[in-house]
Amino acid sequence: QVQLVESGGGLVQAGGSLRLSCAASGRTFNNYIMGWFRQAPGKERDFVAAISWSRPSKYYADSVKGRFTIARDNAKNTMYLQMNSLKPEDTAVYYCAADRSSVVHGDPTAYDYWGQGTQVTVSS
């Protein structure tokens, strides 16, 4: 059974940093891309960043370019999202997801597996 478990969320002041983790288990993710999405109250789930599992290909939403960095540790089956220079508009529940695709992309409807989410709150 595939499981994705996020951690690392919390409350931070604007300009601060957080690092999210997504621990994957239940199968080998060598042929999957992994992504981060976020959803604020009353809004749709938005793409944040994605990374290929076996090749260093990354893709970011324009709103987080230069501030967020996605990475993965294959040996630990874990993906990370380093978030710097956080803004109040980054406040949302952050989800990790996995998709059996060879091309990184930001379409949430194509992702097969999802974590339960972790709350990130940025105060002004």
pLDDT tens sequence across 38-73: 999 999 999 999 999 777 799 999 999 999 999 998
The residue-averaged pLDDT of 92-118 equals: 94
- Does the pLDDT value for residue 30 go beyond 80? no
The dihedral over CA atoms of 91, 96, 97, 103, expressed in degrees to the nearest 10, equals 90
Of residues 39 and 27, more confidently modeled: 39
Share of the chain above pLDDT 90, in %: 81
50, exposed or middle or buried, with CB in 10 Å at 0-12, 13-18, 19+? Answer: buried
- Does the pLDDT value for residue 1 go beyond 90? no
- Does the pLDDT value for residue 74 go beyond 90? no
pLDDT tens digits, one per residue of 83-95? 999 999 999 999 9
Which candidate, 93, 94, 89, 118, places its Cα nearest to that of 14?
Answer: 89
